Amino acid sequence: MQHIEFTIIQSSIDNGRIYFDQAHKSFFPSDVIGGRGASERAMGQISIDADDECFDTDIRLSSSVRISPRASFKRWLASVRAHDGAKARLHRVADRQYKLEYLG
């Protein structure tokens, strides 16, 4: 099972967003990468399991260096009591199925 590790930053907690380095774009199917705006959704979607919730989402380009799922992970971040600087992993379970793991 493949995974990527990422750091939770304060703006993740404030805005409910998880961010990955743009270098990890190839970790996702190419048809799930969309633009930044709401009207720029990707054609495809992935499913991300975060404990008891499942999110169907695309991945948006959030800046020149970051990408992020379009879905909000505010409840998950609160439920794991995420803090600035904490580590987490996103595991690829199947072609379009992923699972979040909080490492602290």
Transcribe 51-99 into DSSP letters: TTEEEEE-EEE-SSSEEEESS--HHHHHHTT--TT-EEEEEEEETTEEE
99-103: average pLDDT: 96
In this predicted structure, the answer to whether residue 1 has a pLDDT above a threshold of 80 is no
pLDDT score recorded for residue 62: 87
In this predicted structure, the answer to whether residue 13 has a pLDDT above a threshold of 90 is yes
Q: Which pTM was predicted?
A: 0.91
Instruction: Please report, for the domain that includes residue 7, its CATH number.
Output: 2.40.330.10
37-61: average pLDDT: 93
Q: In this structure, how many other beta carbons lie within 10 angstroms of the beta carbon of residue 84?
A: 12
Phi, psi of 82 (to 5 degrees): -60, 145
pLDDT band at 64 (very low <50, low <70, confident <90, very high): confident
Tally of domains in the chain: 1
30-40: average pLDDT: 92
Per-residue pLDDT tens for 66-86?
999 999 999 999 999 999 999
Average predicted confidence (pLDDT) for the chain: 94
Q: Print the domain residue range for 96.
A: 2-102
